[in-house]
Amino acid sequence: MKILVAADARWVREQVRAALVGRGQEVIEVTRGQDVRDAVAEHEPDLVILDLQIGNMGGIAVAIDLHLEEAAGRLSEVPILLLLDREADRFLARRAAAEAELVKPVEPGTLRRTVKRLVGGDDRQPLRPTGSERADVQ
């Protein structure tokens, strides 16, 4: 499984890498929002994780850009997980049509479960977190 994480904050990229690196998993990192589209085209990840506050082009703008590129047939569809700074940002994540969002800092187990649902989930079933998780998976 390939996961692309886009965050300019090193601690965010390290947190994601530490939670997800394992056998058969590859974490690709980019530090600028404008580099995400090219990285998605080049690496064809199974999931894109975007930090809301990535510099130059925020996570919301990147998510919208990816959806527009998918709709135009220039990129394959890839689920998006947005990492938010606060609960109030959930509205923005929904406006960007992200498949899921988590509020930072993220517990490693919550991140792994959310990724598993997004990448390995059954497309016919709505994706919902279990009771104690703070994810809002659509």
Q: Which residues contact 126 (CB under 8 A, 6 or more apart)?
A: 138
Q: What is the pLDDT of residue 127?
A: 34
Give residue-wise pLDDT tens across range 41-70: 999 999 999 999 887 788 999 999 999 999
What are the pLDDT digits (tens) for 7-26?
999 999 999 999 998 878 89
pLDDT of the residue at 121: 53
Residue-level pLDDT at 94:
87
What is the average pLDDT across 62-88? 95
Q: How high is the pLDDT of residue 22?
A: 83
pLDDT tens digit sequence for 85-104: 999 999 888 889 999 999 99
- Give the domains, in start order, of the chain with CATH numbers: 2-137 (3.40.50.2300)
Q: Residue for token digits 């530490």?
A: 18
- Three-class secondary structure assignment of 101-135: EEECCCCHHHHHHHHHHHHHCCCCCCCCCCCCCCC
Give the angle subtended at the CA of 30 by the CAs of 57 and 38, to the nearest 5°.
75
Residue 136, pLDDT above cutoff 70: no
Cis peptide before 105 (omega within 30 of 0): yes
Whether the ω angle into residue 79 lies within 30 degrees of 0, i.e. cis, is no
Between CA 28 and CA 82 the distance in angstroms is: 16
